Structure 1
Amino acid sequence: MSSTKIPRGAEEGARETRQRHLEAVESTDWGTQLAAYLESHRASLVDALRRLFVQPFGSFLTCLVMGIALALPMGLALLLENVERLGGSWQRAAQISVFLELTVPEAEGLALRERIAALESVQGAEWIGPEQALAQLQGYSGLGDALQALPENPLPAVVLVTPQAIEREALEGLRAELAALPGVEQAQLDLQWIERLGAILRLGERFIFGLAVVLVAGLLLVIGNTIRLHIENRRAEIEVIKLVGGTDGYVRRPFLYAGAFYGVGAGLLAWGLLHFGLDWLNEAVVGLAGLYGSDFALAGVPLEDALLLLAAAVLLGWIGAWLAVARHLRQLAPR
């Protein structure tokens, strides 16, 4: 009885060929699974969009309610920023007035200003000479003739210091440091005004934050109730899908896309409401500012904030839909 011996080279070639075949089969299976996964997402996306357009008026009202809930806190935040810009920035309100001694020459005063500006805790330092200070006092006080009758200028040079930090402890420390410099007569800081301004702004920020939390909670309830109605309308269909082996992810997917689409619509509506609302209000603000000789105008919605608003709306719609489906998913088992 004879046997045929397979050459070593042929055996290795057959092994390599079979390995390449198995890799090709695995690659084909992976590609098929990926294509099926993407097709499932595409079908869920198209189905969610189609169901929204079946009831356009109801979908629009849902997006409008969500858009108003998003536009209110952001609109108030933009108004607070404009009010802060109108009243001056924190740093400008926290300026420290450094009065120099009358005997300090201008050259030494300018050198002192450079020294102050080089400090790490200082954002900027502005030099105001005695003549400039006298001219400003004449313009603000209305006592121009009386001040001109003085034999000499009684006002010292001043360095207006804008600090980096706005906390009380940091400002007190910087004021003490400036007052100890040679040639400085007095360093003055109106802490009471700073504290009042800070309290007003903190109150506004806290109010806006609380309003945003309440409105976001209401928005999640709105989207959750809307998705719950979609689930109830498709209960029989979902039970059949789960009966034939449909997974929870497959059931959940179209509702998540629906929530995201609601978020897109709400974000665009909120963007539009803010844009047109600020433009409408800006007409009255410009008119009022013109009566006071000011060119102040409300700033619009920055593009970065608008895109962030749209992304937040989509995320909230997605989260609201996910919570609604997660709550009812255990009730969707076939009976």
Structure 2
Amino acid sequence: MSSFNEDDEEETYQNGTISKPKILLFGLRRSGKSSIQKVVFHKMSPNETLFLESTNKIIKDDINNSSFVQFQIWDFPGQIDFFDPTFDSDMIFGDCGALVFVIDAQDDYIEALTKLNQTVTKAYKVNPRIKFEVFIHKVDGVSDDFKMESQRDIHQRATDDLQDAGLDIHLSFHLTSIYDHSIFEAFSKVVQKLIPQLPTLENLLNILITNSGIEKAFLFDVVSKIYIATDCAPVDMQTYELCCDMIDVVIDLSDIYGLTSEAKATQEQTAFDGQSSSLIKLNNNTILYLKEVNKFLALVCILREENFIRQGVIDYNFLIFREGISQVFELRSKKMESEDDDYPLSTSVMTTGSQQYN
């Protein structure tokens, strides 16, 4: 049994509130919660996670990689007891943004589904605004049929259990593994739901690709490889993996050539410098184009080689896009108490590929 009263818990709260949203990680022991956190946010290789010890207390992790990706992750031990008098449900779930429940798909998940039902029910009664996410984890090395059958069965059982309890709660399901990019894609979806400016960012990206001949665009947090926004076109997993690989290459090269040793000594976790960009031509006449947005955000675009002829138009439109992103940051930093985060931005001056760029 794990007691909630850790020595440092009270330091997290000032006057009963915290400044960052929380993502809570729940699941049975050895389901892979800590491995997910280490791989996504601390660049630990999947093989290294084999040596992680089982979590026996609540572990908090502040994520401060970018101005948009700022939150706390709380990793809960699998044996947590909701009926323990030291478990303060109001404080745990009261300001929670998202709850991620990890289920080991390669294990008997009946007990996990029971725990999922208890966790969701407890959290929903305290805070019905929580986003509930279920990671059907460790699906690497199994057949596609097994993945689909596991997802269907878990989805059906979990939904039926909640309906039997008289609760109308939406659960989102993701097939994940730390040995491929599926865990990054799944966490991207979780983080996006915590960004109130998401409609504005998506609108900016839609305008950019429409006026630039771009097929797909992602706005990445380069440290974690989470994409905090993309355009309205469906996300193809292979395309997303290519973009992630490109970011890895750019970061590695920037770490060698982009900063002086003095700059490296004073800047922690700087992904790349202010002028970072990259262009990769694939053998299928497709181009990957990366442009720095700010110190921690990058725009990665996919387009056909014939549409890259007017690079000047694309670069000009990117400058307008970056200006729009800057306005989002400025408005957010003012902490305006407005419920409408879809602010009007100066995107109408973007030019199309048919216009002359001076």
Larger RCO (CA within 8 A; separation ≥ 6)? 1
How high is the TM-score relative to the length of structure 2? 0.23
Higher helix fraction: Structure 1 or Structure 2? Answer: 1
How high is the TM-score relative to the length of structure 1? 0.24
